[in-house]
Amino acid sequence: MSLRLGLVSLEHVHSRNYLSCLRGMPGVELAAVAEPDGRRVSNHADLLEGIRLVSDYHELLLPGILDGVLICSANSRHKPMVLDFARAKIPILCEKPIATRCVDAHEMLAVCQAHEVPLGICFPVRFSEALRQAKRLVEQGTLGHIVAVKATNRGMMPGDWFVDPQLSGGGAVMDHTVHVVDALRWLFEAEFTRVFAHAACRLHPIPVEDVALLTLEMSNEVFVTLDASWSRPNNSFPVWGDVNIQIVGSRGVISLDLFPWTLDYYSEPSAKHLVETREGNLTSRLLENFVDTIQGKAELAAAGLDGVRALEVVEAAYKSIATRQAVLL
């Protein structure tokens, strides 16, 4: 019997990729999609043929309809949806960021725990083979003492609700900080301890920031810089954006490009430069992990607490921007 998954909202730009992956997953039935906006439904019509469509997601809370749900709504709508599905005891995979405020994220986590419902967060970077290989090299001590990380998560300005502060909670900082923060937390098994951030609106006539630069410190004494800007040209750039991570150690340097993934390893002791490149669908791996978790075959790669920790860094960054001071976590 197939596992019945539902998708709530087509608001997020990644919803089309989720639909495509879910339709092709063995042992999975895309049982229903909830979306009240007919325009969004029309834009995805080619992937919605034969799938039950509802305008009110509350219809999917009834027993026996879903075995799990993927929430792809605007950021500010995550909380009520997560709470409703948690109380219905339906496992949840929620787009990032988990919420727009840490107080809401903590409540979401508490309700899911109280009802013993898995809450996963969409951090597909965790499934990058390049990142996993980098983690092995770090744990083996191959790079020596890790000194610093230089990272980017730049993309095109997405428009739509992403630039409405009431729906998004912020601009480029809210949208792009969490992926790299989560990746580095997982990579080093360390937490962020201090944040200093600059942000502004310089590239587009929008009411939220489109350029941002964060300087961070971690509990393992690693310094991190992150460019989280919406700075890619919308019409001429060949790919949507990037997630680049350069790890500087006392014995070598690793450069990661995660879309599609490439690992460059510069080994000082062996005087070698090694390159590995591979394609891979990180979204499929994210969804497979969620399915395996529902079936009791695995644990969530990125759970609700990981979403909370990433949002704490974002909230501290906005506080730093407002005060022009470094903020301790």
Give the predicted TM-score (pTM) of the model: 0.93
**Which residue is listed with tokens 């990433």?**
310
Burial 194-213 (b: 16+ CB within 10 A, else e): bbbbebebebeebebbbbbb
The residue with tokens 């920790």 is 309
Q: What is the pLDDT of residue 130?
A: 87
Local confidence pLDDT in tens for the 329 residues of the chain: 799 999 999 999 999 999 999 998 999 999 999 999 999 999 999 999 999 999 999 999 999 999 999 999 999 999 999 999 999 999 999 999 999 999 999 999 999 999 999 999 999 999 988 899 999 999 999 999 999 999 999 989 999 999 999 999 999 999 999 999 999 999 999 999 999 999 999 999 999 999 999 999 999 999 999 999 999 887 776 666 688 999 999 999 999 988 665 667 777 777 766 666 555 678 999 999 999 999 999 999 999 999 999 999 999 999 999 999 999 99
Residue-wise pLDDT tens digits, 63-113 = 999 999 999 999 999 999 999 999 999 999 999 999 999 999 999 999 999
* H or E, element range at 97: none
Report the C-alpha gap between 109 and 149 in whole angstroms: 30
The string of DSSP letters for 38-49 reads HHHHHHTHHHHT
Q: Quick check: helix, strand or coil at residue 52?
A: strand
pLDDT at 11: 98
Cβ-proximal residues to 49 (8 Å cutoff; 6+ apart), any chain: none
What's the rounded Cα separation, in Å, for the pair 162 and 170?
8
195 bridge partner residues: 216, 327
What is the rounded CA–CA span in Å between residue 290 and residue 69?
10
Burial of 63 from C-beta contacts in 10 A (0-12 / 13-18 / 19+): exposed
d(CA 84, CA 185): 29
pLDDT of residue 263: 65
Q: Which amino acid is at 273?
A: H
pLDDT value at position 234?
75
Domains of the chain: 3-122+284-303 (3.40.50.720), 125-278+312-328 (3.30.360.10)
Q: What is the rounded CA–CA span in Å between residue 165 and residue 170?
A: 5
Contact between 67 and 77 under an 8 Å Cβ cutoff? The reply is no
DSSP for 240-278, written as a single string: SB--EEEEEESSEEEEEEETTEEEEEEETTTTEEEEEEE
Extended beta strands in the chain, E state: 3-8, 28-34, 52-54, 68-71, 92-94, 119-121, 146-152, 192-200, 211-218, 223-227, 244-249, 252-258, 261-267, 272-278, 327-328
Polymer length of the chain: 329
DSSP H/E element including 27: none
- The confidence score (pLDDT) of residue 280 equals 63
Strands 244-249 and 252-258: antiparallel
